[in-house]
A and B are shown apart, each in its own frame.
Chain A
Amino acid sequence: MLLQILILLLFCAFALRLWYLQIHRGEEYAAKARENQLRQEPIFAPRGLMRDRNGELLAVNEPAYALGLVREDCKDIEATLKQVSLWTDVPVEDLKAVYAKGRRRVKPFEPLILTPNLTFDQMAVIEANQLHWPGLEIRIRPRRQYQYGTLMAHLLGYVAEANESELEKDKELALGDEVGKQGLEYMLEKSLRGAKGLRQFEVDVSGRKLAQRVLKKPKAGQEVSLSIDLGLQKLVTDWLEGEAGAVVVMDADTGQLYALVSSPSFDSNAFSSGLSTEEWKALRDNPMHPLQNRAIQSVYPPGSVFKLAVGGAGLANDMVDLKETVFCSGSLKLGRHVFRCWRRGGHGKVNFERALVESCDVYFYKLGKKLGVDRMSEFAKACGYGVKTGIQLPHEKAGIIPSRQWKYRRFGERWQGGDDLNMSIGQGFTLVSPLQVARFVAAMINGGKLLKPQLLKDDKVVVLNKVPLNETQLGLIKQAMRTTVDGQRGTARRLRTKGVDVGGKTGTAQVVRLTDELKKLKDEDIPYKYRDHAWMCAYAQKDGRKFAIAALVEHGLHGGSGAGPVVKAIIEYLFNGKVMKRPSRKH
């Protein structure tokens, strides 16, 4: 009897246990067996290429060597990290931090990327020693490479390793992935990135890879063609070398940008291969602010360039009599204040056109007084000033078009008559971006259409608004701009180009009101930071091709001499295919 009972007990106990392991918890153990056996790794999708309007490559992908650590295969994490630190010169604390962060995101049998960019030499050394350091794995992954790192930095922006909050927000990102941080790389992230694929392989207990299978094919990111003309971009960049400033060249009919330059610039490539803290600080604290895209993120007083808008407001409100002349004595008195014209001796009798061509301040003081801030503001807003253009780049600034309420809110003061006068010549509170100026000029020659500035070749034309001027009125402004270039006394005579219809307007924007002491100095002797900003805006058209150009050179002194030459070079390039070299400078 005893023996039978023993057999029965044996059977029941083990049958129960088998049921428990294989049926009750079978699913769970099967998953564990699969985890043992199958490992998955992503197949990286190449980021979409970027080209200029002529097909020239601007951004490509090159292979980069990333160092990964498979926790489950690593015997001694501490020692391995120390060794990696020796190889890569990355401080061991940093590696530990990466490891600690990664532990939560990466499964134990998947490689945790310790450092995404090994040099070839580092890679070779690690590869040679890999046998002694189980768990380390070198992965080849695409890395962004910019063919013209500094030339396109403000447009393309850059990619860099995704940070904690980006990883949190976007579940498709994995530790060590690159993500667009600035410029088009940031704005077009969704379409440029593509989608990773998935590869699965079987491993044995020593981590050897056996059979493998592609579970999901990677989807390459979409290719993008910019509206930018690389040659023009380069030409403008060369002309602005050593200066702080911005230039915008826009197709007046479509809003497509042919060039958008902000100087000085930085190298996008520095970011995709990992920027050290010192390098980052140097860029951030550089007094010339190379990271700032001055064409859209910096706003300046427009100076006389704004007279085109004030003149337009006069026409639109029917407050300009074309035959009427105004006498410019060199100054205008308002209350106790004297408002001076830039020409001390005065312009004499000035009509609408001559006032624009010779940029007579007194004429516009009077016009401004007549119009008042409300009409000027309303019209300027309709011209796209004080509002964002909607360009597909991050952190655009709207600038400022003041109004009575604005001033009260800002300073707690009432709008005064003198404010009208300052506003009429583009000084005072008004601030505009170079891109807004270019767009305004485009509207003057395309029938008044205020366009959305476009950066991609395939972008459709988007008309945001209509400037409230009829054809005749637009013609008047255009004619005045033309005479500014063609006329004997025009301020933009240096833009004259044979066979091309060119019109322009200069501007000089005061940075500070110069003290009498400074006024006595010669231009070159005024300290850089007190010098006026130089503006030049222009249109150029021939055979149905129309362009609007805006150039701003910070502290460039006078519009014509400071910002004119680069605009002239642009016109030569666009219509004559000529690459004008910038004359070597004296100082």
Chain B
Amino acid sequence: MAFDRRLLFSINWPLLGLTLVLFFCGVLNLYSASGFRLADGMSVAPFYQKQLIWGLMGMFGMLVIMLIDYRHLRTLAWPLFWFTCLTLVAVFVAGKTIYGAKRWLDLGFMNFQPSELAKICILIIGARILSKERERLNFTRLAYVVGIGLIPAGMVIRQPDLGSGLTILMILGGMILYHGMTGRVFKTLLISIPPLLPLSWFFLHDYQKQRILTFLDPTKDPLGAGYHIIQSEIAIGSGRFWGKGFLEGTQSQLRFLPEKHTDFAIAVFGEEWGFLGTLVLLGLFCVFLYQMVVIAREAKDLFGSYLAAGVFFYFFWQILINMGMVLGLMPVVGIPLPFISYGGSATLVNFCLVGLVLNVAMRKFLFKQ
């Protein structure tokens, strides 16, 4: 197979560049976030090194994915979907229980989390189904699409892993919005969903209710559940305009900030780089997302377009929920910030999904035959 030079021309360089910039910002921030002060100097946990290694693996995975034409995924979509469902069933049968939740499959050499696979799978199957829908979705078609999504999502929620389950539904939901629905459907949903939301309260676990209550009033339990939010707001707020400087964040260095290298990593960034730095980072994320929108628009087939939109929502929801939580605008849920929070497999998946979008971008001219 001869290499088509047009592939190289069409790579979305801004997206690739932004991904790398965000990743290295993340590693740099992680170096600070994994350090803490001692009486005689400072100690740094090796999280940033591990993140770097996972990142390199991710970049490799990204390259591999860019090379394989994304259109092959169309044919693979259904088999992949059923395979994912199979692994989810396997979790119920032979899953490993950690912290009271059955989420992992022990593969011998590593613990594998099928719900992660389900998130990727949903955007591929979503793209496949929605790209075939010629019209805007009416009630039947909507029910069909949502029904497909509910199969993996339901199983994930039963594990229980509400966060991942909702993420799956939200990715699919985003894609449905992108595709569009009939006016009637849209209006009906707009009217019926808000009154239904409070009902969901009765399906929540106690700890989940607690988190929502704490979010509404963190000062009620400042040393317990409210501690995360309070300390996170102090960390970010105390950064003020210019920030305290790299490695100078007292909230993080003295370990007042919890989960500072994972879910609350952006708070470390906010404390040390201030309003200016954080605003720039937020801007980078927005341009990163915007590039995906551009790719989705310019893709030469609907499958590619929906694929890019799916990846867009995959990142969009995570950024929204994580930053919303750290900034005290949402309840605490364990969702990391892409490229900034520490997490090996998440980093790997993030790079691979960026690779997928780049893949779509590269092949935007290939169909002019």
Interface positions, chain B 25-74, Cβ under 8 Å from A, are 36-39
**Does A22 count as interface, using CB distance less than 8 angstroms?**
yes
Query: Once the chains are docked, how many angstroms separate the CA of A480 from the CA of B286?
Result: 111
B250 adjacent to A36 (CB under 8 Å)? yes
* Pairs A-B, 5 closest by C-beta atoms: A29-B237, A33-B238, A26-B240, A22-B275, A204-B254
Known contacts: A7-B293, A18-B279, A23-B240. The answer to whether A37 contacts B250 by CB under 8 A is yes
B residues within 8 A CB of A17? 327-329
B282 adjacent to A4 (CB under 8 Å)? no
Contact of A202 among B178, B254, B289, B328 (CB under 8 A): B254
B177 adjacent to A2 (CB under 8 Å)? yes
Select the stretch in B7-15, B125-133, B193-201, B316-324 that faces chain A.
Answer: B316-324
**Does B234 count as interface, using CB distance less than 8 angstroms?**
yes
Query: Once the chains are docked, how many angstroms separate the CA of A357 from the CA of B326?
Result: 99
Query: Once the chains are docked, how many angstroms separate the CA of A34 from the CA of B319?
Result: 29
B282 adjacent to A3 (CB under 8 Å)? no
Known contacts: A21-B233, A27-B240. The answer to whether A2 contacts B178 by CB under 8 A is yes
A26 adjacent to B255 (CB under 8 Å)? no
**Does A120 count as interface, using CB distance less than 8 angstroms?**
no
B residues within 8 A CB of A33? 234-235, 237-238, 250-251, 256, 271
Query: Which single residue of chain A is at the shortest CB-CB distance from B296?
Result: A3
B293 adjacent to A29 (CB under 8 Å)? no
Main secondary structure of the interface of A (DSSP, over half): helix
Known contacts: A4-B293, A10-B286, A10-B319. The answer to whether A26 contacts B177 by CB under 8 A is no
Task: For the complex, count residues of A whose C-beta is within 8 A of B.
Answer: 36
Sample (16) of A-B pairs whose CB atoms are under 8 Å apart: A3-B296, A3-B309, A4-B293, A11-B286, A15-B282, A17-B328, A19-B275, A29-B234, A30-B237, A32-B237, A32-B238, A33-B271, A204-B256, A205-B255, A206-B255, A210-B39
Q: B357 to nearest A CB, angstroms?
A: 13
B254 adjacent to A205 (CB under 8 Å)? yes
Given pairs A3-B293, A11-B283, A15-B279, 15 additional interface contacts (CB within 8 A): A7-B289, A10-B316, A10-B320, A14-B282, A14-B323, A17-B328, A21-B236, A26-B237, A26-B239, A26-B275, A29-B234, A30-B237, A30-B240, A32-B238, A205-B256
A residues within 8 A CB of B233? 21, 29
Query: Once the chains are docked, how many angstroms separate the CA of A202 from the CA of B253?
Result: 11
Main secondary structure of the interface of B (DSSP, over half): helix
A11 adjacent to B282 (CB under 8 Å)? yes
**Does A25 count as interface, using CB distance less than 8 angstroms?**
yes
**Does A28 count as interface, using CB distance less than 8 angstroms?**
yes
Measuring CB to CB, which residues of chain A are less than 8 angstroms from any residue of chain B?
2-4, 6-7, 10-11, 13-15, 17-19, 21-23, 25-30, 32-34, 36-37, 202-206, 208-211
Query: Which single residue of chain B is at the shortest CB-CB distance from A37?
Result: B250
A204 adjacent to B275 (CB under 8 Å)? no
B240 adjacent to A4 (CB under 8 Å)? no
Query: Once the chains are docked, how many angstroms separate the CA of A19 from the CA of B39?
Result: 34
Query: Which single residue of chain A is at the shortest CB-CB distance from B312?
Result: A3
**Does B83 count as interface, using CB distance less than 8 angstroms?**
no
The contact size tier of chain B is: 35 or more
**Does B274 count as interface, using CB distance less than 8 angstroms?**
yes
**Does B365 count as interface, using CB distance less than 8 angstroms?**
no
A residues within 8 A CB of B231? 36
Query: Once the chains are docked, how many angstroms separate the CA of A34 from the CA of B251?
Result: 9
B234 adjacent to A32 (CB under 8 Å)? yes
Query: Once the chains are docked, how many angstroms separate the CA of A19 from the CA of B282?
Result: 12
B320 adjacent to A29 (CB under 8 Å)? no
Contact with A along B256-300 (1 / 0, CB 8 A): 100000000000001100110011001100100110010010000
Query: Once the chains are docked, how many angstroms separate the CA of A210 from the CA of B233?
Result: 24
Q: B179 to nearest A CB, angstroms?
A: 10
B residues within 8 A CB of A3? 178, 289, 293, 296, 309, 312
A residues within 8 A CB of B234? 29, 32-33, 36
A residues within 8 A CB of B139? none
Query: Once the chains are docked, how many angstroms separate the CA of A17 from the CA of B237?
Result: 10
Contact of A25 among B237, B279, B286, B290 (CB under 8 A): B237
B residues within 8 A CB of A205? 254-256
A18 adjacent to B275 (CB under 8 Å)? yes
Query: Which single residue of chain A is at the shortest CB-CB distance from B233?
Result: A21
Contact of A28 among B38, B237, B251 (CB under 8 A): B237
Query: Which single residue of chain A is at the shortest CB-CB distance from B323?
Result: A14
Q: A5 to nearest B CB, angstroms?
A: 10
**Does B241 count as interface, using CB distance less than 8 angstroms?**
yes
Known contacts: A14-B323, A26-B240. The answer to whether A203 contacts B254 by CB under 8 A is yes
Query: Once the chains are docked, how many angstroms separate the CA of A13 from the CA of B36?
Result: 32
A residues within 8 A CB of B39? 208-211
Q: A202 to nearest B CB, angstroms?
A: 7
Query: Once the chains are docked, how many angstroms separate the CA of A211 from the CA of B235?
Result: 20
Query: Which single residue of chain A is at the shortest CB-CB distance from B258?
Result: A205
B residues within 8 A CB of A202? 37, 250, 254
B251 adjacent to A18 (CB under 8 Å)? no
Query: Once the chains are docked, how many angstroms separate the CA of A329 from the CA of B310?
Result: 133
Query: Which single residue of chain A is at the shortest CB-CB distance from B320?
Result: A10
Query: Which single residue of chain A is at the shortest CB-CB distance from B290?
Result: A7
A22 adjacent to B256 (CB under 8 Å)? no
Contact of B238 among A26, A203, A204 (CB under 8 A): A26
A37 adjacent to B254 (CB under 8 Å)? yes
A residues within 8 A CB of B240? 22-23, 26-27, 29-30
Query: Which single residue of chain B is at the shortest CB-CB distance from A30?
Result: B238
Query: Once the chains are docked, how many angstroms separate the CA of A510 from the CA of B213?
Result: 84
Query: Which single residue of chain B is at the shortest CB-CB distance from A210?
Result: B39
B290 adjacent to A4 (CB under 8 Å)? yes
A204 adjacent to B37 (CB under 8 Å)? yes
Query: Which single residue of chain B is at the shortest CB-CB distance from A21?
Result: B237
Query: Once the chains are docked, how many angstroms separate the CA of A2 from the CA of B324?
Result: 20
Known contacts: A22-B236, A204-B254. The answer to whether A210 contacts B38 by CB under 8 A is yes
Query: Which single residue of chain A is at the shortest CB-CB distance from B283?
Result: A11
Q: A37 to nearest B CB, angstroms?
A: 4
Q: A10 to nearest B CB, angstroms?
A: 6
Known contacts: A3-B312, A29-B233, A30-B237. The answer to whether A36 contacts B251 by CB under 8 A is yes
B residues within 8 A CB of A29? 233-234, 236-238, 240
Q: A434 to nearest B CB, angstroms?
A: 62
A residues within 8 A CB of B290? 4, 7
A residues within 8 A CB of B237? 21-22, 25-26, 28-30, 32-33
Known contacts: A3-B309, A30-B237. The answer to whether A204 contacts B255 by CB under 8 A is yes
Query: Once the chains are docked, how many angstroms separate the CA of A10 from the CA of B327?
Result: 13
Listed residue (A4, A13, A28, A204) with the most chain B CB atoms within 10 angstroms of its CB = A204
Q: B174 to nearest A CB, angstroms?
A: 8
Known contacts: A21-B237, A22-B239, A26-B241. The answer to whether A204 contacts B270 by CB under 8 A is no
Q: A213 to nearest B CB, angstroms?
A: 14
Query: Which single residue of chain A is at the shortest CB-CB distance from B38?
Result: A210
A residues within 8 A CB of B296? 3
Q: B128 to nearest A CB, angstroms?
A: 20
A residues within 8 A CB of B319? 10
Q: B292 to nearest A CB, angstroms?
A: 8
Query: Once the chains are docked, how many angstroms separate the CA of A28 from the CA of B36?
Result: 24
Query: Once the chains are docked, how many angstroms separate the CA of A33 from the CA of B323?
Result: 20
